[in-house]
Structure 1
Amino acid sequence: MAEVAIGIDLGTVHSRVAIYENDQVKIIPDENGHRSTSSCVAFTDNGCIVSDAVKTLSWIEPKNTIFYVKRLIGREFNDPSIEAYKKTWPFDIVKYEDRLKIQVRFKNEIKIFSPEEISSMILRKMKENAEKYLGREISQAVLTVPVSFTDTQRRATRDAGIIAGLSVLRVMHETSAAALAYNSYNTESDEKNILVFDLGGGALNVSIFTPNCGFIEVKSVAGDSHLGGEDFTDRMMRLCIEEFRIKNNVDVSNDKRALSRLRLACENAKRTLSTFAMASIEIDALYNDIDFSINVSRTRFEEINADLFRSTLVTVEKALHDAKVDKVQIHEIVLVGASTQIPRIQKLLSDFFNGKQLNQSVNPDEAVVCGAAIEAAILTSNESEKIQNSLVLDVAPHPLGIETANGLMEIMVKRCTTIPTKSTQQFSTTEDNQMTFDVKVFEGEHPMARDNRFLGSFQLSDIPPAPRGEPQIEVTFDINGGGLLVVSAVDKVSGNQNQLDFNSNHANLSRDEIERMFCENIKYKIDSEIPSMDNRRLEQFTVDDVARFIIGIDPSFDGIACRFLREKIDGKALILLTRDILVKEMGFKIGPALKILNHIQNRQ
């Protein structure tokens, strides 16, 4: 059977998975038939749960139910936005080993997780949904991210996919995925300027592209990773908190459980206001047995979010400016994302474009995952004639450059440069007989390098002694079609060279950490499913039985993890490697499985 790959829309609020088969995209449902899954992870006595039911647990176990992790991935603990999240989110965001982590109580122990680990649990759930639905193993996927994501956030998302047991073929911009989905449903050959307006739960993405016979040229992208539907929910929560304070002289803003219940109610009211002019919020015993109720009109909702709604147009204007396109030259506006269903958003957008009708030919909620599935099919050489000529030429979303001797940012790749691209500039030494040259790579638009995002560095050494300014050092930035960056430097005289490959350079995690997290991911699944083995007597089990069981839980266990295990202990059977590494070296306790393994060893 030919290898297939899935597309995954890893959303702030909901995640989706799809596959392209038989000339069409199939949205893969979960075990309950839902076409999306809440991007929430709950830690309970029964294990880690990723499902729509998790949201109901958020107010029962608020500190152990993790949501909106997409807003944390790839960020530093000292990021200004993190402090605001800590004040309003019920779970604990902590600094651990100088990194941003999430702390929960799991099976009577304090556990620390990275945002990549939490995201990997959601991705693994998407992978499992696909495998159950399709009846085959899935190991490859295309993941989507907002255009506003930095290189670090993109690589962190890729790392999450690896931890989930996926070979990540590409990390794709959400707007580019939506453009690909739009293009698959619209076969007109005329060149047009299409604007994708993607307003989801956690971010705003805007892209302008030109389609032509399957060929998609992205002209510009712009985004705001702090503007989405959840920010509108937060405004309604503030309204309710203030109303409760006025009525009862009580501040509930520090009560985690009350905030979790209030958030759920406000999310439901927000969705209601997209259809009706009035929504009611009623919560029994919100705090200290005090009931709470309020009616919120659509007009009031629009008033408290007026500045946020207007700011969406700032991002639109930025995209137009970068594309060098006037708004009258936009032929169609494609809506993507659940928050585009808010009537006020639609009116502002239509008015901005002089009353132009908005296009919703592709399901706004599913456009991104549809495009990701098409891209996955393209990258795995799907033979469908409908997509054989499809190609997306994307752009670099942020400027890239290196730090010069005076601390300035030397731009090597400008924002919205079409990729793939290669840019080379010549530099030299600043001191006589200087034998090394440091290449520090940054991302951002500030003139001073230190004010931008540091991505990585390397050193070119053994430069032949010469007066300053004489050596010729060529630095090259090479970005492939998937946005992966390689920076290299070469001394033209000696031929000495060095490079930094950001494809193999992980974001916040080392390779060992990723492989350890992969094994832990497997362990959590084993813990939740191992009781099914207790129905048989210990004497009935063989090494092969247990090996088949563990591989059956997750077929990808025989991939990354086993390669890692074989490096540690060569020549031992899979099951002994599993026990020795997962139990002894990593301290994992896999319950009944360990008893079985010990019994088998003693029997032998």
Structure 2
Amino acid sequence: MQEDIKLWPFKVVKGSADTPKVVVTYKGRKEFLAKEISSMILGKMKEIAEMYLGKVVKDAVITVPSYFNDTQRQATKDAGTIAGLNVIRMINEPTAAAITYGLDNKSDIVVLVFDLGGGTFDVSLMTIEEGGVFEVKAVAGDTHLGGGDFDNHMVDYCAREFKRRWNKDLTGNQRALGRLRFACEKAKRILSCATQTSIDLDFLHRAKFEELNMDSFNKCIETLETCFSDAKMKKSCVDQVVLVGGSTRIPKVQHMLQEYFDGKELCKSVNPDEAVAYGAAVMAAKVSGRNDKSVQDVVLHDVTPLSLGIEVKGDIFNVVIPRNTPIPTSNAKQYCTIYDNQSNIIFKVFQGERLRSTDNHLLGKFTISGIPRAPKGVAKVMVFFELDDNGVLRVTASILSTGKVEKITITNGIRRLSKEKIEKMVHDAKKYKLEDQEFKKKAEAHNALEDCIYDMKNKIEGHNIQNSMRHEILQVTRKAVDKTSKWLKDNQAAPFPVLHSKKVHLEFVSKSLS
């Protein structure tokens, strides 16, 4: 976002909870949240629809990028509410496009939807069965990759050229940047069907445009490979490659995509600007109960794009719902207290693919209190995750012994998932796989040593009460436990082999207590 701010023709300031606010003057106000601006757009669309239909529009089906996280989906739903709409369903954009393409399909096929729009990129691999059953196998994407980024690269290039030729910096002049951005966007569209155009200061050739954006184009292909890997399918299984989104008109994107699929013809029969809206309209007809058989026969099995889970002792990310799980879905896991007489547990809910919780995206946290006091590990809490048809998450925690329940409310104050976060969650998940495994191994060894110390202290106390041990053995054992406990406190970053050897030594000492 900080990089984008340099190129935007408006200011962005920090709001509460580190939430970005756009600074524009409208009806006496000067600062707006992103979802408020989204609501203005939805409100205008509602107005246009009402003028066309001649009646009031209350309900809506809204499409979102498949890689939107829970916070982004909630914010989108809030924007609809602010605009006066009852959002009855949210559907992933590639899935909506696939519905458009496969509605009249007469055979079972595997379809890859390549959706490259103005600000986001999604790829979905799905099967379409005869009769209208759509099953998503895997999704991948980037919530910060699209035509707007291609515009940014051109704006940045032109600003550098302007400074080089005339020694004037445009980046501090928002009006000039706005005009330059408009010219660059126009040039991008022209270069989709011509080989050169001008942006006032000079000619821009298609080859230069491709050079400026080649890193972004390559990321699209890398994302394809991630999608196939997640689905455990080969690209040769794909029957059709459907293009969606205005940026798929870029010749280099089409060439690279066709080359990736070994020369397969790309499906351009669906209008890339209308496919998503058409699919959403079909879904709206279905959920509103229209009698059209072709609409009512549509069955959609979508998936969650990122894993969801809880942070457990040692900053380990414990997955409750794995990524690419068909939705709607639910799952529950049992957790216990981690120290004696613990009366409350703070649950942190994360979304991502890394083994260390803090490397993932924090969705929210909540506390369940009133846990009956007991030794650690005795009191149990059941945590229940539920993902609805819209991909929106609800988390409930219940104390098993008392039945007390707490529910999480995911606030929209948490930042939108950045490009860097997305790359960490998926692309870096493979890159750092060995490092993550080593972290988990060390964290589990640390926890195991702590548990060993705890168990031995209890054994020593028990023998004290029974007075059934020779004084010397008891003293030696207590000394070993105290020494190890102090060592662990002073060596939190100790590696796995050392932690493991300390535990083995304590277990050997504890045999004399048996």
TM above 0.5: yes
Paired residues of 1:156 and 1:508 also in contact (CA < 8 A): no
Name 1:260's counterpart in structure 2: 178
Equivalent position to 2:367, from 455, 459, 473: 459
Tell me, yes or no, if structure 1 residue 198 matches structure 2 residue 115. Answer: yes
Name 1:149's counterpart in structure 2: 68
Name 2:344's counterpart in structure 1: 436
**Identical-pair percentage:** 44
Name 2:193's counterpart in structure 1: 275
Deviations 1:247-290 (A, max 9, x none): 323222222111111111111111111111111223xxxxxxxx
For 1:366, give the aligned amino acid.
Answer: E
Paired residues of 2:70 and 2:393 also in contact (CA < 8 A): no
Name 2:164's counterpart in structure 1: 246
Structure 2 CA distance, aligned partners of 1:398 and 1:147? 10
Structure 1 CA distance, aligned partners of 2:114 and 2:184? 24
Paired residues of 1:172 and 1:482 also in contact (CA < 8 A): yes
1:297 Cα deviation after fit: 1.4
Secondary structure of the 1:305 match is helix
Name 2:510's counterpart in structure 1: none
**Structure-2 change in CA distance of 1:459 and 1:242 (3 Å):** closer
1:425 Cα deviation after fit: 1.4
Paired residues of 2:16 and 2:413 also in contact (CA < 8 A): no
1:318 Cα deviation after fit: 0.8
Question: Scaled by the length of structure 2, what TM-score is found?
Answer: 0.77
Name 2:331's counterpart in structure 1: 423
Tell me, yes or no, if structure 1 residue 165 matches structure 2 residue 84. Answer: yes
Structure 2 CA distance, aligned partners of 1:321 and 1:391? 25
**Structure-2 change in CA distance of 1:433 and 1:363 (3 Å):** same
Name 1:113's counterpart in structure 2: 32
Deviations 1:294-336 (A, max 9, x none): 1111122112212211111011111111111111111110000
Name 1:568's counterpart in structure 2: none
Alignment of structure 1 residues 74-93 onto 2, 5 Å: 82-93=1-12
Structure 2 CA distance, aligned partners of 1:382 and 1:449? 45
**Structure-2 change in CA distance of 1:111 and 1:238 (3 Å):** closer
For 2:42, give the aligned amino acid.
Answer: L
Paired residues of 1:439 and 1:458 also in contact (CA < 8 A): yes
**Structure-2 change in CA distance of 1:106 and 1:507 (3 Å):** closer
For 1:253, give the aligned amino acid.
Answer: T
- The structure number with the bigger radius of gyration is 2
For 2:306, give the aligned amino acid.
Answer: H
Equivalent position to 1:374, from 274, 282, 287: 282
Secondary structure of the 1:494 match is coil
Tell me, yes or no, if structure 1 residue 311 matches structure 2 residue 219. Answer: yes
Name 1:62's counterpart in structure 2: none
Structure 2 CA distance, aligned partners of 1:309 and 1:407? 35
Structure 2 CA distance, aligned partners of 1:371 and 1:380? 14
Name 2:389's counterpart in structure 1: 481
Name 1:537's counterpart in structure 2: none
Question: Scaled by the length of structure 1, what TM-score is found?
Answer: 0.66
Equivalent position to 1:100, from 10, 16, 20: 20
Name 2:297's counterpart in structure 1: 389
1:493 Cα deviation after fit: 2.6
For 1:338, give the aligned amino acid.
Answer: G
Name 1:399's counterpart in structure 2: 307
1:106 Cα deviation after fit: 4.2
Where in structure 2 are there 5+ consecutive unaligned residues? 415-514
**Structure-2 change in CA distance of 1:392 and 1:305 (3 Å):** same
Paired residues of 1:90 and 1:257 also in contact (CA < 8 A): yes
Paired residues of 2:39 and 2:82 also in contact (CA < 8 A): yes
For 2:56, give the aligned amino acid.
Answer: E
Higher helix share: 2
Deviations 1:42-76 (A, max 9, x none): xxxxxxxxxxxxxxxxxxxxxxxxxxxxxxxxxxx
Q: CA RMSD in A?
A: 1.7
Runs of 4+ off more than 4 Å: none
Structure 2 CA distance, aligned partners of 1:233 and 1:484? 32
**Structure-2 change in CA distance of 1:134 and 1:408 (3 Å):** same
Deviations 1:341-371 (A, max 9, x none): 0111001000001001000121111111111
Name 1:224's counterpart in structure 2: 142
Paired residues of 1:201 and 1:228 also in contact (CA < 8 A): yes
Structure 1 CA distance, aligned partners of 2:358 and 2:206? 45
